[in-house]
Amino acid sequence: MKNTAKSIDSGRRGFLIAGAGMTAMLAWPPGRAGAADFPSGPIEVVTHAGLGGGTDTTARMLLIRTRRNLKVDAVVNPKTGGGGRVAMSYVKNRPADGHTVMAITPTHLFTMAQGRAPLGIDDIKGVVRSTDDPIVVMVRGDSPLRTMEDLVAAGKQTPIKWGTTQIGGVDHVAAATFGKEAGTQIAVVPFEGGGEIVTNLMGGNIQAAGLNVTEAKDQLERGDFRALVSLTEKRMRSLPDTPSAGEKGVNAFFSTVRGIVVLNDVPEERVQILEAAMLKAMKHKTYQGYLTGNGLDADSIAGAEVWDRQIRRMYADARRALLDLGMVKQ
Amino acid sequence: MRAPASPDSPPPAADRRLGGAARRLGGAAAEGGVLLALCAWLYWLSTRFDSVPAVLSQNVPPELFPRMLLLTIAGLSVVMVWQGRGIAAAPVPRVRRVLLVAAAAWIGCALFAMTGVVILVACCAALCALWGERRPASLALYALLYPAAVYVVFVLFLGLRFPDGVWR
Amino acid sequence: MALTGAAAVWASFQDVQFLALVLAATLTGILVGALPGLSSSMATALLLPFTIYLQPIEAIAVLSALYCAGTFGGSITAILINAPGAPPAAATAFDGYPMAKNGEAGRALGMAAVASSLGGIFSLITLILAAPALAKIAYAFGPPEYFALAVFGLSMLASISGEMAVKNLIGGALGVLISTIGVDLTTGVERFTFGSPHLYEGVHFIPVLIGLFAMTELYEQAGKHKPNYERIRLSAMRLPSRADFRRVWATILRSSGIGTFVGILPAEGGTVAAMIGYNEAKRWSPNKQNFGKGEIEGVAGPEAANNAATGGAMVPTLALGIPGSATAAVILGGLQMHGLRPGPYLFEEQPALLYAIFAAMLLANVAFLALGLVGAKGFSRVSLIPRQFLWPSVFVLCLIGAYGLRHSMADVWIMMVAGVVGVFLRRHGFSPAPIVMGLVLGKLLENSFAQSMIIFDHAAAGFLQRPIALLFFALALCGLFFTPTVRLLRAIFSKSNPGKRS
């Protein structure tokens, strides 16, 4: 192979990084820290998903450069279970010193909105957003439903079979909210994951689905799927010909987002240190390459202000929709 | 397959406790009883599931599938007892070491959650001794080297994180 | 196309670093596979973050080779100590261990290696020649077809292992029952969770598997009164004799086909493939009554099938971006981590990557055969180390394996409970395999049924319009009732014509 030299070089770099990580782990300092010298110990990113999944991978990619920027080690600590509940109760019981951060997804916000989470939306604040992947309503390329209006009209006759992920999650609530706002009927068909939805939309077992562009980029490019409307306020840069829900006057905006939050009691200057280090890490070509490889672009990344506002709005939307659906536990 | 109990062989422990009726029902009766009790308890639990939100009420109800399974298991248990009638239960061997090993394993797991890797040394030593290792040198060597190797491979090399305990 | 492909595969073999990495991965895979409690999916998941330091092509090649070799490695422990080193080898233990007990460990291991290798190569050739076309089958499988497939899979429990069909069916139903723990997919209602968030997402099958197989075995071993040194000795792994080969070639071919097909089906991995492979080997064998007592076809059947499933599982993974098994899902994560998006376009845009994966898996399939022949004695040490060191070590590996899967103590407790339950079940004549089968297929069974009902507007008659589903239902009925029906007919026949006999 012609790039052997390069690969050996990168291999050696890898060993150096791994070596540095091990040294840092062995020389684990006690977690006491003054305000001035933050961070004084390793940063722990608490995730809610197992190894190798999207959340885990995104967190690991983010940490590659964050480690260097903060000059401390950073590790991913998966706390699986309960739709983020296990992760949240773990974080709740850690000191609010900024050394423990949590990688969240809409799952956490929806668990909070269902009133089942150990943390409330006011207990956390946003640090950075790492991916932003809006939900787009798609049908099969040869579907008679050519526009959003076709879909709405057809749904008024018989409910549209609409593929989602788990009940009470972001996909389900997006479908239900879209149905309500656009004035049509939707029969939700839940699947275990996005891949299954893609196959079943392709196989004609369902009529429509709310999918992320990353999940169906190839199918869109080849014309196997047609995007009818994106559940965003403005048109997406990656889908310039697809109308947005905002311009159609449908008040349903949902996105699969990932980002980092900390407990609300973490001092503001520490949040800023984390924000700066992580933003710098995500602008590096390692992370940008990861985004591009997944069909996302630099718009995914956002700082504390934008991200914090977004999670609060998403929480409020989720709460309202779940009340409408009768799915909020007392 | 178990051989039918011959009349002059001493009745197994389970039968002795349950008396003559159980002997006629056969060894499968106790198994069937446990399964039926389990089914009844789980069926009762399935009546206490949360209600389904109105929008999803047309879907297959969440208790339907477990209940069908429970009824299947209950039905098959009855068939099993019927098929096993007149066949005595095999004697259940009771060995003190199984209980000791189980106790060591459970205590080890409980302490693993609190103390991480340190407990593995104690666990290895205890289990190794229970299995009959009497040479203190090889016992100590094993109990120290093996957990150390596990630590190096999994924690240092593969990046596994042990539970957060008193000693992280 | 085929010629350039062959050339590309040949070119990868000439790259020294590539060869070294793949061989190292194969060796690691065999060892990891041979250690009970360590499955190839866990190993690939744990290694995944470290492959970021490699070139994308090398990283994926390493993971693929690990996958192939890990699937074979599991059979070593299954044969020598009756504890499958990895889930797909569970069926191998049914006959492999009895063979080893009969003093034929070398013959069983040799057959396992050859069958694995042939099964793997068969599926790779299929993958290389037909991947884009085969991937289209996935689209013909919707929820109704999956429901029928799951029913078919479970119907085979009536004959899968042990002698009591009723106990097997109860075991299977118990396994399916365990899979209903957690939140219900189509209604969002929590079931049997006792309010614990750790059970909310259900019970993962790996801790249950480790508990049922490894922990139960550990307790059983502890219960043996005198230190029992009839360990299975292994002089060397022997390639199958010509007579053996003549006996099993049909089984290997059949299992390779089954394994490739089952592997292609999304979410159906080597474990299910091996179970079906074993079952079909038994069904077609002239030596049916010898199964479970050390029949060589009972080793070749599951081993060819589970390694054929590795190639099969890569088809939907690469062609559709839909993982064909748990390990393939991890490899998919690896592709994404390296900025490569799997899908139909991968074949056009990244031919080098695809052929590197083919090359790595091909090499792994040949290498584990060679390494097995040279180093079987070394690998078999896993079962030859003294009991007082072996079983405490197995316990630690069970603990780490269950915990490491999701860094969850809850999984450790599930593993421990499964171990104790396993002891009771085993003492009462229930074998663990049906439970595991129920657990693997349970979610699929229920979810696909609930999804089908929504798709059919809540009218079960919709199943009648799905020919593939009907086919599998028919096969399931045959599997369930064939033996009893034949027996009944024979009974009626002999009763109504008493004069004709004698």
Gap between the Cα atoms of A25 and B118, Å rounded: 16
For chain B, domain boundaries: 13-83, 96-157
Domain co-membership, A242 together with A276 = no
Cβ-based burial of C20 (10 A; exposed 0-12, middle 13-18, buried ≥19): exposed
Residue A52: pLDDT band with limits 50, 70, 90: low
Q: C223 Cβ partners below 8 Å, 6+ apart?
A: B93, B95, B97, B98
Across all residues in chain A, what is the average pLDDT?
84
The whole-number pLDDT of residue A8 equals 34
Kindly give the pairing relationship between strand A208-212 and strand A124-140: antiparallel
A188 vs C130, more confident: A188
The whole-number pLDDT of residue A230 equals 94
Tokens standing for residue C2 = 């085929």
- Predicted confidence (pLDDT) at residue B6 exceeds the cutoff of 90: no
Q: Decide which of A248, A274, A290 is a domain's last residue.
A: A248
Asked whether the beta carbons of A252 and A245 are under 8 A apart, the reply is: yes
The whole-number pLDDT of residue A245 equals 94
- Unique residue bearing structure tokens 């305000």: A35
When pLDDT is averaged across residues C440-448 and rounded to a whole number, the result is: 82
Q: Which residues of A touch C451 (CB under 8 A)?
A: 189-191
When pLDDT is averaged across residues A20-35 and rounded to a whole number, the result is: 42
A19 vs B79, more confident: B79
Q: Specify if A76 maps to a domain.
A: yes
Kind and range of the H or E run holding A225: strand A225-230
Closest CA to C450 of B61, A54, A282, A130: B61
pLDDT digits over C175-234, tens only? Answer: 899 989 998 988 888 899 888 888 888 887 778 877 887 788 788 878 775 444 345 666
Q: Specify if A36 maps to a domain.
A: no
Domain co-membership, A163 together with A176 = yes
The whole-number pLDDT of residue B65 equals 92
Residue C334: pLDDT band with limits 50, 70, 90: confident
The whole-number pLDDT of residue A305 equals 93
Give me the long-range contacts of B126-129 (CB less than 8 A, separation at least 24).
B127/B101, B127/C391, B127/C392, B127/C395, B128/C388, B128/C389, B128/C392
Asked whether the beta carbons of A129 and A310 are under 8 A apart, the reply is: yes
Domain co-membership, A167 together with A209 = yes
Q: Which of A74-88, C84-98, C251-265, C461-475 has the lowest mean pLDDT?
A: C84-98
Gap between the Cα atoms of C74 and C37, Å rounded: 10
When pLDDT is averaged across residues A227-237 and rounded to a whole number, the result is: 91
DSSP C224: -
What secondary structure, in 3-state letters, does A244-277 show?
A: EHHHHCCCCCCEEEEEEEEECCCCHHHHHHHHHH
The whole-number pLDDT of residue C406 equals 73
Q: Which of C49, C54, C455 sits opposite A205 (nearest CB)?
A: C455
Closest CA to A322 of A78, A14, A165, A112: A112
Domain co-membership, A223 together with A285 = no
DSSP secondary structure, C444-465, as one string = HHHHHHHHHHHHTTT-GGGGGG
When pLDDT is averaged across residues C133-160 and rounded to a whole number, the result is: 72
The whole-number pLDDT of residue A27 equals 39
pLDDT digits over A269-285, tens only? Answer: 999 999 999 999 999 98
First to last CA, chain B: 51
The whole-number pLDDT of residue C499 equals 43
When pLDDT is averaged across residues B74-102 and rounded to a whole number, the result is: 80
Gap between the Cα atoms of A72 and A29, Å rounded: 11
Q: Residue C233 — left, alpha, or beta (φ > 0 → left; ψ -120 to 50 → alpha)? A: beta
Q: Which of C86-95, C268-277, C375-384 has the lowest mean pLDDT?
A: C375-384
pLDDT digits over C341-390, tens only? Answer: 565 556 655 667 777 888 888 888 998 888 887 777 777 665 556 778 87
Domain co-membership, A172 together with A280 = no
Q: How many domains does chain A have?
A: 2
- Unique residue bearing structure tokens 């970021």: C52
Side-chain-side CA neighbours of B149 within 13 Å: the count stands at 10
- The phi, psi pair for A30, rounded to 5°, reads -65, 150
Domain co-membership, A95 together with A165 = no
Nearest residue of B to residue A185, measured between CA atoms = B55
Across all residues in chain B, what is the average pLDDT?
78
Gap between the Cα atoms of B129 and C123, Å rounded: 47
B10 inside 8 A of chain C by CB: no
Domain co-membership, A222 together with A111 = no
Kind and range of the H or E run holding C302: helix C297-320
Asked whether the beta carbons of A236 and A257 are under 8 A apart, the reply is: no
Q: Which residues of B touch C409 (CB under 8 A)?
A: 109, 112-113, 163
When pLDDT is averaged across residues C105-119 and rounded to a whole number, the result is: 89
When pLDDT is averaged across residues C82-100 and rounded to a whole number, the result is: 81
The whole-number pLDDT of residue C130 equals 66
- Residue A103, SS3 per DSSP: strand
ipTM above 0.95, yes or no: no
Domain co-membership, A97 together with A193 = no
DSSP B88: P
Closest CA to A113 of A76, A67, A168: A168
**Residues C41, C46, C50, C56: what is their CA dihedral angle, to the nearest 10 degrees?**
20
Gap between the Cα atoms of C399 and C416, Å rounded: 9
- Residue A100, SS3 per DSSP: strand
Q: Which of C174, C187, C400 sits opposite B56 (nearest CB)?
A: C187
Q: Which of A6-15, A125-134, C249-258, C324-333 has the lowest mean pLDDT?
A: A6-15
C-beta atoms of A51 and C45 within 8 A: yes
- Unique residue bearing structure tokens 């197995």: C394
Across all residues in chain C, what is the average pLDDT?
78
C393 inside 8 A of chain A by CB: no
Identify the CATH number of the domain in which residue A176 sits: 3.40.190.10
Q: How far is CA B37 from CA B40, B41, B74, C272, in A?
A: 5, 6, 9, 31
Q: Specify if A261 maps to a domain.
A: yes
Q: Specify if A237 maps to a domain.
A: yes
C186 inside 8 A of chain A by CB: yes
- Unique residue bearing structure tokens 């770099």: A13
- Predicted confidence (pLDDT) at residue A19 exceeds the cutoff of 60: no
Domain co-membership, A15 together with A104 = yes
Q: Specify if A330 maps to a domain.
A: no
- Predicted confidence (pLDDT) at residue C446 exceeds the cutoff of 50: yes
Q: Specify if A34 maps to a domain.
A: no
Kind and range of the H or E run holding A121: none
What residues 229-288 of chain A have any CB closer than 8 A to a CB of chain C? none
- Predicted confidence (pLDDT) at residue A4 exceeds the cutoff of 50: no
The whole-number pLDDT of residue A28 equals 42
Q: Specify if A277 maps to a domain.
A: yes
When pLDDT is averaged across residues A60-70 and rounded to a whole number, the result is: 90
Gap between the Cα atoms of A37 and C200, Å rounded: 40
DSSP A302: B
When pLDDT is averaged across residues C141-166 and rounded to a whole number, the result is: 72
The interaxial angle of helices C16-34 and C56-81, nearest 10 deg, is 30
C-beta atoms of C322 and A64 within 8 A: no
Gap between the Cα atoms of A127 and A262, Å rounded: 7
Residue B44: pLDDT band with limits 50, 70, 90: very high
How far is CA B33 from its chain centroid?
18
Domain extent, residue A299, equals 4-28+41-132+256-325
Mutation choice for A interface testing from B50, B51, B55 by most A CBs within 10 A:
B55
Domain co-membership, A115 together with A149 = no
Q: Which of A249-258, C266-275, C299-308 has the lowest mean pLDDT?
A: C266-275
For chain C, domain boundaries: 2-77+88-496
Strand partners, A255: A134
